[in-house]
A and B are shown apart, each in its own frame.
Chain A
Amino acid sequence: QKEVEQDPGPLSVPEGAIVSLNCTYSNSAFQYFMWYRQYSRKGPELLMYTYSSGNKEDGRFTAQVDKSSKYISLFIRDSQPSDSATYLCATKLDDKIIFGKGTRLHILP
């Protein structure tokens, strides 16, 4: 079992829709959870990180962690074509970042 599982997509949604991206993880020792956005031919860019269970909001983005079910989500409200990218969930253990495969997201104008 991979440490962080993520559906690679692609996921296509119309502009303005709410996007839900999800990951599961296997190790209950994981404490920090992150979401990165990666545009084509670019390095990953940190969007949000959270430590505890619950929700964390930043503008149109909400990160959600449910440690009881080992489930991580990222919600994007009012999605824009500029949100089209690959979204990577990640966690950290002993200073090592462990990434999921990434989900390719297409926002259709």
Chain B
Amino acid sequence: ETGVTQSPTHLIKTRGQQVTLRCSSQSGHNTVSWYQQALGQGPQFIFQYYREEENGRGNFPPRFSGLQFPNYSSELNVNALELDDSALYLCASSLAGNTDTQYFGPGTRLTVL
């Protein structure tokens, strides 16, 4: 086990709704990255947070947003859900400057109907 936990495990939403996914980082890790993994694809980088600030973003629209808290837990929020948002959402924690060694959580499976 990596020590990274995510909740919930599964989630079903309808188009247009909003969702919040949660991640608890490995102890001492101050950097968290979020990824979207569609079925049969590799994870796609959404964004990264370091010291509660966004520190890099992939090719995702602004309706994907995040928060990182002082205890290094974090959230991914997605507004105005679309069918294509159905995917496995992964968070990964690491130490700053060492993101080539990221530890992934088990993911949250989001289904948008």
The total of chain B residues at the interface (CB under 8 A) is: 25
A94-B102 in contact given A6-B42, A8-B40, A100-B42 (Cβ < 8 Å): no
Contact bitstring B36-74, A, C-beta under 8 A = 1, else 0? 000011111100100000011010000000000000000
Indicate whether A97 sits within 8 Å of B45 (C-beta atoms), given known contacts A46-B101, A49-B101, A92-B100. yes
How many A residues touch B, CB cutoff 8 Å? 24
Q: Does B21 contact A (CB under 8 A)?
A: no
Task: Give the residues in chain A near B2, CB-CB below 8 Å.
Answer: 43, 45
CB distance from B20 to the nearest CB of A (A): 19
Q: Which residues of B contact A88 (CB under 8 A)?
A: 42-43
B contact residues around A41 at 8 Å (CB):
106
Let me know if A95 is at the binding interface, CB within 8 A.
Answer: yes
A107 at the interface (CB under 8 A from B): no
- Do B106 and A99 have beta carbons less than 8 Å apart? no
Give Cα A34–Cα B41 distance, bound, in whole angstroms.
Answer: 17
List 19 additional A-B contacts (Cβ < 8 Å) besides A44-B90, A97-B99, A100-B42. A8-B40, A34-B100, A41-B106, A42-B106, A43-B92, A43-B104, A45-B2, A46-B103, A90-B42, A96-B48, A96-B58, A97-B33, A97-B35, A97-B45, A97-B92, A97-B102, A99-B42, A99-B43, A102-B42
A residues with CB within 8 A of B:
4, 6, 8, 32, 34, 41-46, 49, 88, 90, 92, 94-102
